[in-house]
Structure 1
Amino acid sequence: MKVWIYLLAVAAGVSLSIEGAIYGELGKEIGKLESSLYNFAVGTLIIGLVLLFLGKGSLSYTFKAPKWQLTGGILGTIYLTILVIAIPLVGVGVAMISVIFGQMAMSMVIEHFGWLGSERKPVNKEKMGAAALMLISLFLIF
């Protein structure tokens, strides 16, 4: 098992909670949409610099890629903007547990049906139990 992948995923989750809290507060000061714009502007600059030195892909393929594959940018914008709005209202914990539950539930559906190029992995009782426990944790943390 590649434990380091799990550790990186945990680090990503930690950074998302910190990011959400920071941008929730920034949104109070400069505006919610402005906070999201700032996030994406800074992120674009940073990834642009990284791409300059480490990029090995083909950015021009973007124009040839199936349109559904390009919706990730829209979804990422929606995700962050909702967090910027939600965190000051419900708190970081409830917002993040809600996000994780939504991710878990949709991931199970995507994998069960093999949507979006994913390998088919049927939903089983263990996965349903895990989702139920996440939903219970949402109510308990609320």
Structure 2
Amino acid sequence: MPGTVLFSMLVAVFAGSAVPFQAASNAVLGKVLGHPLWATLVSLCISAALVLPTIWLMRAPAPLTAQLAHAPWWVWTGGIGGVIYISAALILTPRMGAASFIVCVVAGQMLSSMLIDHYGLMGLTPRPVHMGRIVGVLLILAGMGLVQWFTPSMPAAAENENATADHSGAQQGNPSLAHRAGAKSSTRS
């Protein structure tokens, strides 16, 4: 395996290792802000705040307006995927746990990636699906099932502890948690 391929794989693994932390921190942020969509917006704003100075430091040239006008319509859909992923992570990570959520994400990514590769969608070079790749995806799906099967569900006592933590956070002066604690107690009455 050439060194550049190995380096690329290591960078991809490093980037992937950040995703569960993103999902978990955004899930807590959603609770603090009172709604997952606010956390999605904050997360995307932080991303923009980080990428803008990076563009400036790397002296990336500004895009040409003429090129933007001739781009395929689907080049603008990447942001939609980001919102879908971040919102799903905010809602599902607390319910499923980080490992279960991420293994399902990876399974979904592999299935859609195989379709994109096989048909050369979105301007990529076609890479036909063959038995080795199918077996690899089946192993990922089996792994997803195993991780999910052996992940204990959140017992009712833990859910009550989360509600208590929200209520105690409200007592400590966090208005967002006060609102959530009040909403939870009113729905249980």
Give TM-score, length-normalised by structure 2. Answer: 0.71
> Map of 1:1-142 to 2, 5 A cutoff?
1=2, 2=4, 3-30=6-33, 31-61=35-65, 63-64=68-69, 65-142=71-148
- Amino acid of the structure 1 residue aligned with 2:51: I
Q: CA deviation at 1:139?
A: 1.0
Mapped partners of 2:145, 2:61: distance in 1? 43
Q: CA deviation at 1:59?
A: 2.9
Q: Secondary structure at the match of 2:125?
A: coil
Q: CA deviation at 1:87?
A: 0.3
Q: CA deviation at 1:84?
A: 0.8
Q: Deviations over 1:91-136 (max 9, x none)?
A: 1111100111111111111111111111111111111111111111
Mapped partners of 2:64, 2:25: distance in 1? 34
Structure 1 gap segments, 5+ residues each? none
Q: CA deviation at 1:26?
A: 1.5
Mapped partners of 1:101, 1:36: distance in 2? 23
Mapped partners of 2:112, 2:118: distance in 1? 10
Q: CA deviation at 1:88?
A: 0.7
Q: CA deviation at 1:60?
A: 4.0
Q: Which has the higher contact order (CA 8 A, sep 6+)?
A: 1
Give TM-score, length-normalised by structure 1. Answer: 0.93
Q: Secondary structure at the match of 2:43?
A: helix
Mapped partners of 2:28, 2:89: distance in 1? 11
Name the CA shift for 1:55/1:74 in 2 (closer, same or farther; >3 Å). farther
| Bigger Rg, which one | 2
Mapped partners of 1:91, 1:22: distance in 2? 12
